[in-house]
Structure formats: structure tokens, C-alpha cells
Amino acid sequence: MNKALENVRILDLTHMLSGPYGAMILADLGAETIKVEPLQGEGTRKLLAKDPRNSLDGMGAYYITLNRNKKSVAIDLKSEDGLAVFYDLVRESDVVISNFGVGVPERLKVDYNTLKKVNSRIITCTVTGFGSDGPNPKRPAFDQVAQATGGGMSSTGTDPDHPVRSGIPIGDLGGGMFAVMGILTALMERTHSGEGQHVDISMVDCQVSMLNYMATMYFLSGEDPYPIGNSHFVHVPYNTFHTSDGFIVIAVITDNFWQNLKQVVDCPEFDDAKYDGQPGRWEDRDMINARLNEILGTNTSDYWLQKLNEKRIPCAPVNRFSQALSDEQLLHRNMVVELRHPNGKSTRGPGNPIKLSRTGEESFTPAPTVGQNTDEVLTGILGYDEARIASLKNEGAIG
């Protein structure tokens, strides 16, 4: 194997989406990722598992995607013997990632302050809705709660009266992405200090971070942004437009692009000199957008995209999943990969977006069944013999 993180071992205590997504990225990059789950399996296994359209032999789309490249060890962390097994794994690992509610790691005795006594080099990471401290961190949070609380949802949609969440669960996925950044940062720091530390990720913090320059605009102006659909608050035309068979995006962000666009659409109203600069276009943006919709509606998306690309005007089709996941550029980048079931059947899913020039091997092992790797991990990493493993199973400490 030639993957960048192949010398890193992660204990994955996550469930649902935010934590599993972060652990999946690290596993894709080569980290030996051991999913530590209850004897009955963690709850995400049940999502869509019985939906015939969105499952593969009892393994739902959530689980088969988020748990590729991972191993499964089933441990009862609430039992004394099970917790002792987990601590043995901590001694041989680099990272423990979880997304339990605030206070749960402490109750389970898998929090950083406990685990650093077991392994001073251990790095722990928790992904929670609101972080681990502050006046009220224990509020329950899922994706839409994070999107709403973080402010971004208030600026998404077509008008101020109809806020809309992002079509993809960016609240959850953002937490997972920032968890990866935090874990890799802590691993880098440990090479100098030799010590572990805790990475505290709040999904809402992540949403606020992604407000970025728009938050600064608010502090400068004192004005809350509001939803403006797919248009832009500076550039015109910058929007989604109807064609005869779908939608395309045009993003005119310089005056040169505007001049090129006029050659493509041949609209006499656009020849007014006031539109040669952004202020004039902004003033008459409704007319410009309306005329473009009329003109572009006379032909197909492919026709207009060809014309626009010939003039190097930023544009794109508004792809459905079926179109995006068959795009030749994305296929070339290996962004659609085979996802296998342990029984050998397979489907397809998204690939790994991080491409490395020297240690970038890509491979995707099947999401495991519950406890599929318990014996392998406990013998191979911890050196347990068959009798000890059998005894732990009989006691219900492992499965």
C-alpha cells in the first residue's frame, strides 16, 4: 500500500454522519481505521438498510459509503473487561474520534483526560453540535440545526420569507471535514512535542467559519444578508438561467466577460454603454436577467455552453446527480468508485477528493459487518491468544 497515512491508527467511535465522514476521509488516505462499535452494531447500520432501492443486501447507502476502508471490532464499552480491551487498543493507536453528545465520552471513560493516562501520545477528537464548553453546549444538534444556528441558512433560498437549507448536509459534512483538519494538525504538532491533545470540533463553529467574508461584510455594514436565489450581490449577470431543455449557470465577474457575452447572445438592449461597467449592470439587473432567460430559452443547454465556452465565459450546466456522476472529468479523477459489500456484491459511490502525487494510491475495501475484524485486530495488534478472545466473547465483552 502506498497511502499517506498508512502509519496512523485510528479508533473510530463515531455514528450517523459527521464523525463517520471525517473518519472515512482519513481511512481513504490510508489510516488504519478500526471502527469500535457496540456488540449489536452502531445505529447508522440501520439507516436505509431495509430500503430495497437504497441498500445492498441489508447494508444501507449511509453505512456502505461512510465505512469503507474501515475494520470493525465489536466491544461493550460499558463492561469492565470491554473497556480494558479498548484501553489496550488505545495504547497501540494514534487517534480516537467520536461524535457522542457532550458528556458521553466522560461517562464512558473514553475522554481525552482519561485516555492520556493510558497513552500520553493519544489524540482525541470530538465532533458535537455546539462544542464541549460554553454556556449551553449540551443542546442536541443535527445537520439542519447546525445550518440554521450558524447563520448560513438565513441567506439561502429565493427570498427572506423562505429560508432553505443546503441540499447536501453541509452541517454534518462540515464537522467531519474540520475534524480531519484538526486531527492532521494535532498529528503534525505531536511530531515536535511528542504529546497528544484533544481536538474539539463544533458543527456550528464550522458553519460560522464558512460564512467567511460575508460575516465580515455584516460587521462592516451592520446589515443581515438575505436570500437572493442564485444571483450575486455584486456581479451581473451571475445566475441560473433556463434553456430549452434545462438550466445553465453564467458567471460574469469582469467587464471583459460581459463584452464576450454580448457577442454570444446578440441582444440589442445590452449595447447601451452604461452596461459596460458593473454599476450599470447592477442597476438594471432584473432586465438583464429576464432578457437572458428569454434568449437562452430558445436553444439547448449544450448549444449555449458550447458558444459560451468558445468565448471563455464562466458557465456550467446545472447537473443532476446522474449527469454529475457520469461527467468525463470527474470519472477521470476517479471520483466515482466501486463500493463493495463484504459478500462480493457492489455498487458505486463518490471517490476521495484529495489527490496526492507520491502517496496517492486509491483503494476501497468494503464496509465491514459487525465485529468482522475483532479476532484479527485483537490477535494481530494486541497479541491476544484464542483462549483469551473466546473468554471475552463468552463474557459478552467483545463480539
Q: Do the Cβ atoms of 68 and 31 come closer than 8 Å? A: no
Each residue's pLDDT tens digit, 363-385: 999 999 999 999 999 999 999 99
Q: E strands, 203-251, where?
A: 238-242, 247-251
Q: What is the predicted pLDDT for the residue at 97?
A: 98
DSSP 160-210: TTSB---SS-HHHHHHHHHHHHHHHHHHHHHHHH----EEEEEHHHHHHHT
Q: Do the Cβ atoms of 101 and 62 come closer than 8 Å? A: no
Q: What is the predicted pLDDT for the residue at 1?
A: 81
Q: Do the Cβ atoms of 137 and 128 come closer than 8 Å? A: yes
Burial label, 196 (beta-carbon count in 10 A; 0-12, 13-18, 19+) = buried
Q: Grid cell 467511535 — which residue?
A: 13
Nearest Cα neighbor of 206 from 354, 62, 19, 28 is: 19
Q: What is the predicted pLDDT for the residue at 160?
A: 93
Each residue's pLDDT tens digit, 209-249: 999 999 999 999 999 999 999 999 999 999 999 999 999 99
Burial label, 249 (beta-carbon count in 10 A; 0-12, 13-18, 19+) = middle
Q: Do the Cβ atoms of 346 and 65 come closer than 8 Å? A: no
For the chain, residues with pLDDT lower than 70 are none
Q: Do the Cβ atoms of 21 and 12 come closer than 8 Å? A: no
